[in-house]
Structure 1
Amino acid sequence: MEIQGAIALVTGANRGIGRHFARQLLERGAAKVYAGARDIDTVDLPGVQAVQLDITDPASVAAAAEAASDATILINNAGIATFENLVAGSEDAIRREMETNFFGALRMVRAFAPVLGANGGGAILNMLSVLSWRTPGLGHAYAAAKAASWSLTNAVRLELAPQGTHVVGLHVAGVDTDMLAGIEAEKADPADVARAGLDGIESGALEVLADRPTAEVKALLNADPSVIYPELAAR
């Protein structure tokens, strides 16, 4: 799919990777970019059309789908990280992770699938994570939600193929955004991540691995869990 002349909606477009997605879509010649955000006053990127959007609110999602009824690309970028673990963590926080990172993405897909179908098929990009495949020893709620979102991406890719909608899964490890501020780790440039995702849309990729750590973990998926989790050997 060509981005030149396309009409895109980006969730969580007011900052971080989402803002880079919106900016680069404009740079690549998108005819219109809807910038979704819970507070449209935080959308400061020239050239975009701000849309009030809370992906956890069905009414907000429905209104956004109506406002962006000409969309041909959906970028499911919005997400949260509570850094909660599953056994002793707050169940409310765990549910917020799933409600945002899984059900929010699913809600957007369900709302925009008929929009994209009516406009020729288009494309969906889901922002995923290396934590879809390996949890790092903390923040397991996020990993569980992203693993579910990986499965969601694979499933809706099959369901939407008959209407000509291409679905891309974009996996990345740490990214230098507000979400990981204060955490010491190798972090990718969010501009590079957005660029890799948009390249994937244009090239027809099903899955994009945006950095080296992600590619390394993906390569281990056929290994025994003891190889993926060597820390267990010391226990």
Structure 2
Amino acid sequence: MLWLLAVLGGGSIALGGRYWWDRRAAKRGDAEELEGIRNLADEDVTLLGEELSRLGESVQGRELDADTRLDYQRALDAYESAQRSVGGIKSAEAISTVTDTLATGRYAITCVQARVAGEPVPERRVPCFFNPQHGPSTMDVLWNQPAHGTRKVPACAQDAARLQAGQQPEVRYVQYHSRRVPYWEAGAAVAPYGTGYFASGAGASYIALASFDSMSGGMAWGGWNAAPGGAVDFGGGGDFGGGDGGGGGDG
């Protein structure tokens, strides 16, 4: 009987140790995931700040009318709000607020540019699907992705021209496990990144149009579903950054 109690006791200790280890590993994974999300948001905020700097240089010395000044201020406010929000991100879902604010700021910039050029203010559209850092889309394009069929997605003017010329669009890439993949293939942790850019207002129609649930990340535009086991692994250090082919300013 004593030997049985000893075995059972040893098994309980082993199970307790495994549980403790798993909990620590899960916390480390959560921390790395959160750090990666913050880096992802910070990259986009930084790019918006660079766009605003270029805008400031282009309008320096010009007399801006009231509407142009209002749009300019909206862009500045969006940048400052997004910048403050990055440090307060406590969960992956919180990045959607940041990207929604960034989309507002980039649209305000396009309005300033149009007014200064004496052109009509563009309609409010969702960002470029291929890389939201490119700013508001200008048209819907048919995009054929091997193994996933043809879909209609919003694109900036430059990416639309690339597709028309038979070239590849400039896609926003992020780190997923040991690979760099388009942001829409990066699993559940990055889903809120796209949600903020596309899931409000006019973006709802595009979420209904495009479904990417069959992609490796398991994300679906109709709710951003994650495939089982689709958690993001940042490969040590939580590198979620790097917009290969990215950069702000509409492509």
Q: Is the TM-score greater than 0.5? A: no
Structure with the bigger RCO (C-alpha within 8 Å, sep 6+) is 2
TM, length-normalised to structure 2 = 0.25
**Which structure carries more helix by proportion?**
2
**Which structure carries more strand by proportion?**
1
- Greater Rg over alpha carbons, structure: 2
TM, length-normalised to structure 1 = 0.26
